[in-house]
Amino acid sequence: MIIIFFLNILLRMFSGLGVDEKSLISILGKWHPEHKQSFRKTTRDIFVEDERQFERWDDRHVQKLQQEFLRFKDAVVLWTMHPWERDARLLREAVYKRPNYGILVETACTRSSEELLGARRAYHSLFEHSIEEDIAFHIHGFEKKLLAGLVSAYRYEGPKYSEEEAKSEAKILKNVIKDGAKKLHEEEEIVRILTTRSKLHLKAVFKHYKETSGNYLDEDLGDQLILKQTVQCLCKPETYFTEVLDVSLKGIGHDFAKEALTRVIVTRADVDLKLIKEEYHQLSGVTLSHKIEEIANGNFKDFMLTLIARGDQEN
């Protein structure tokens, strides 16, 4: 029923009629992944069935949404998109719009192996070449090597790993950092460990690193931002996303800040937003809802608050 109601809202919009944005926010905020999937599959005049088995937005309708919804246009589009298409478009913008290594790292490292593979397939369909190809052409130096490895990874996700290998690789990382942070970008072993090992294995590596060095690995990386982000996204994503939110909420008047806030809330609403909210509260001393209530406005604010409240209602 709610899918039919939302479809009627879209049809009114595409016909040039008014849209009840409050109702739209209320409906969308209650949708779970299966509702969004059902909507995409039953709305063939808005979504196109891609040959790689995902439903993607018809570009004409994305443009119409952007004209209609103004303040919360990006949130609506991202929320209803197939996750593969959403991630593919985020990756594309991170390379072409303005190089944003953080978005490339977070997309590559916080998705499952199947989710990342799906995003790469969607990228092929939407842009007719690969994300690896674009990174290789547009990004240079150590960052190219690391990012190409991260986006092309298909990590093992089972329960097994070698404790001895984890200890050995913790020692490798400790020695590399001890030799001097300035040489970190030149170390092949860092790239190998971060781009090939399972997340469970890496958590063991980082645990042994802490035990032998006394510090967390991301603390010892200093100003090596891309490496720090990679470590956090692989093993402590809630810490990474909390830091992104903190920066974005302090600069909410800028487009980049609003884009970052939208991206985090929309992409993590059905994943780990509860943990992110808890960590943000610890970091800032205020709740995420309170902060958004304080600095955002209009339908954008209402939609963000609706998505944030989902976790409170379900737990």
Domains 2-81 and 163-235 equal at CATH topology level: yes
Q: In sequence order, what DSSP letters do the residues of 104-138 get, joined into one string?
A: HHHHHHHS-HHHHHHHHHHHHHHHSS-HHHHHHHH
Where residue 179 falls (left for φ over 0; alpha for ψ -120 to 50; beta otherwise) is alpha
* Amino acid identity at 85: E
Q: Would you tell me the crossing angle of helices 59-69 and 73-80 to the nearest 10 degrees?
A: 140
For the segment 153-181, what is each residue's pLDDT rounded down to a tens digit? 999 999 999 999 999 999 999 988 877 65
Which class in CATH covers the domain with range 163-235?
A: mainly alpha
CATH architecture of the domain with range 2-81? Orthogonal Bundle (1.10)
* CA pair distance 180, 191, nearest whole angstrom: 16
Kindly state the tokens that stand for 193.
């460990």
Judge whether 1 and 23 are in contact, CB under 8 Å.
no
pLDDT category at 293 given cuts 50, 70, 90 is very high
Judge whether 177 and 206 are in contact, CB under 8 Å.
no
For the segment 226-285, what is each residue's pLDDT rounded down to a tens digit? 999 999 999 999 999 999 999 999 986 677 888 999 999 999 999 999 999 999 999 999
Judge whether 296 and 289 are in contact, CB under 8 Å.
no
End-to-end CA distance of the chain: 25
pTM for this one?
0.85
For the segment 26-71, what is each residue's pLDDT rounded down to a tens digit? 777 778 788 787 777 777 667 778 777 788 777 766 665 555 555 5
pLDDT at position 291:
96
CATH architecture of the domain with range 236-315? Orthogonal Bundle (1.10)
Three-state SS at 163: helix
Question: Cα separations (Å) of 8 from 44, 69, 71, 151, 288?
Answer: 14, 16, 21, 38, 33
Q: Quick one: which of 222, 272, 277 has its CA closest to 249?
A: 277
pLDDT at position 68:
54
Domain boundaries, the chain: 2-81, 87-154, 163-235, 236-315
Judge whether 19 and 12 are in contact, CB under 8 Å.
yes
* Amino acid identity at 33: P
Q: For domain 87-154, give the fold.
A: Annexin V; domain 1 (1.10.220)
Burial tier of 308 (Cβ tally within 10 Å: 0-12, 13-18, 19+): buried
Judge whether 298 and 258 are in contact, CB under 8 Å.
no
Mean pLDDT score across all residues of the chain:
86
For the segment 185-198, what is each residue's pLDDT rounded down to a tens digit? 567 889 999 999 99
